[in-house]
Amino acid sequence: MRVSTEGTSAAGGPSKYVIGEAMCPHRMVLEHVTSRWGVLVLIELLDRPYRFSELRRAIGRVSEKMLTQTLQTLERDGLVHRDAKPVIPPRVDYSLTDLGREAAEQVRALALWTESRMDDVEKARRTYDEARETQSRAS
């Protein structure tokens, strides 16, 4: 989930990111919204605005670099609002835009569905694994 502000590669031509985005822009947004950290950021920000460190703790196991990249990407897509207050020490709050709230509600619905149907998924996995094991023994 790299954010390219330059738009050019080291060789001087268009970057792969810019080319991919121009070819299929909705896929790029879908990647950002459904990425591992994008999903968690959106769902967490549904509750309330967060400071960076609070958000990192709430999500857990995300590096500072990855969270920064994720927030920048979601901000670029118009889903997250970054509010930097001119105080010492600096204070930056992250919240959802209206567009971000809409996306987050969709992602949360999918996450809730996944949670409620996990028993069925696990059962399907066991059935699949047993069938594959039986098939490989027969070969």
From CA 33, how far away is CA 42, in angstroms rounded? 8
Crossing angle of helices 36-47/64-76, nearest 10°? Answer: 70
Q: What is the arithmetic mean of pLDDT over 84-112?
A: 96
From CA 98, how far away is CA 125, in angstroms rounded? 38
CB 94 within 8 A of CB 50: yes
CB 51 within 8 A of CB 92: yes
* pTM of the full structure: 0.78
Q: What is the arithmetic mean of pLDDT over 55-71?
A: 97
CB 92 within 8 A of CB 84: yes
Residue corresponding to tokens 């987050």: 104
What is the percentage of the chain residues whose pLDDT exceeds 90?
78
Give me the amino acid identity at 29: V
**pLDDT value at residue 17:** 57
User: pLDDT by residue (tens digit) across 5-50?
Assistant: 444 445 555 565 566 566 688 899 999 999 999 999 999 999 999 9
From CA 88, how far away is CA 107, in angstroms rounded? 35
Where does residue 51 fall: left (phi above 0), alpha (psi -120 to 50 degrees), or beta otherwise? beta
What is the percentage of the chain residues whose pLDDT exceeds 70?
83
Structure token pair of residue 59: 């999500």
For residue 44, the tally of other CB atoms under 10 A from its CB is 17
